[in-house]
């Protein structure tokens, strides 16, 4: 979700106006994904690197998270939408940690759409914390070295831990014109299709999402196989 600040700057508005517009775009995207029957939507709301931004902006973003949770969770629950969070929660305020836990608990049994929100998240942090879990279990004797496999590490990644049963993302969408993944889901994006849009996040609407999905649908996903092999599957 990139481009909130530039969206505000282009309109002569303060950056916080862009972030608030971005929240509205989040709400619209969730509603549209639910209507389209999409199984899961993961949103990169705040990266581990974003802590380096001006303190005033970071404070505003944390306030927006609190306000959004207070305002939106009841409707998400009513619409059978589950909400989960990934990231280093220890870096968040106790108030935000409590809101997150309450939101996850309240919507845990919902099945229409799973929304995963990455806050204080970084792909390198995610791989590191999974590796630490594996190391600790090996030292404690709960895991043998021969049992340290890709699957074992995958089970300890944030995405797998937050929402059991969800597979790796099919489609990665980056708004705002940048063409990089910026330390997001580095492990999980191994075979994900990438789509880069020049549209700033607050302007990313149903039409833009449809365009991304249409392009994704036209691609042949081979996962290391040849086209001939894929055709036989």
Active-site residue list: 2, 50
Helix (H) or strand (E) holding 56: helix 55-78
E runs forming strands in the chain: 40-47, 81-86, 113-121, 171-174, 193-196
Q: Which residues contact 2 (CB under 8 A, 6 or more apart)?
A: 174, 175, 176, 177, 178, 200, 201
Closest among 32, 64, 60 to 72, alpha carbons compared: 64
DSSP character for 71?
H
d(CA 152, CA 56): 40
Determine the Cα–Cα distance for residues 191 and 222; give it in Å rounded to an integer: 9
The first and second tokens of residue 206, run together, are 């149903």
Q: Are the beta carbons of 201 and 176 closer than 8 angstroms?
A: yes
């Amino acid at each position: 979700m990139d481009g909130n600040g530039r969206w505000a700057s282009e309109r002569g508005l303060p950056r916080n106006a862009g972030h608030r517009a971005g929240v509205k775009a989040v709400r619209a995207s969730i509603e549209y994904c639910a209507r389209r029957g999409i199984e899961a939507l993961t949103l990169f709301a705040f990266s581990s690197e974003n802590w380096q931004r001006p303190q005033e902006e970071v404070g505003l973003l944390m306030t927006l998270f609190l306000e959004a949770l207070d305002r939106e969770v009841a409707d998400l629950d009513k619409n059978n939408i589950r909400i989960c969070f990934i990231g280093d929660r220890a870096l968040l305020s106790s108030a935000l940690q409590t809101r997150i836990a309450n939101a996850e608990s309240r919507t845990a049994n919902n099945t229409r759409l799973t929304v995963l929100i990455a806050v204080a998240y970084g792909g390198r942090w995610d791989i590191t914390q999974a590796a630490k879990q594996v190391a600790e279990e090996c030292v404690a004797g709960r895991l043998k070295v021969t049992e340290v496999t890709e699957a074992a590490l995958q089970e300890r990644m944030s995405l797998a831990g937050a929402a059991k049963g969800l597979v790796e993302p099919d489609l990665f969408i980056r708004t705002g014109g940048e063409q990089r993944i910026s330390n997001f889901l580095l492990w999980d994006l191994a075979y994900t299709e990438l789509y880069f849009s020049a549209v700033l996040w607050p302007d990313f609407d149903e039409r833009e999402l449809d365009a991304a999905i249409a392009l994704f649908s036209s691609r042949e996903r081979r996962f290391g196989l040849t086209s001939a092999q894929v055709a036989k599957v």
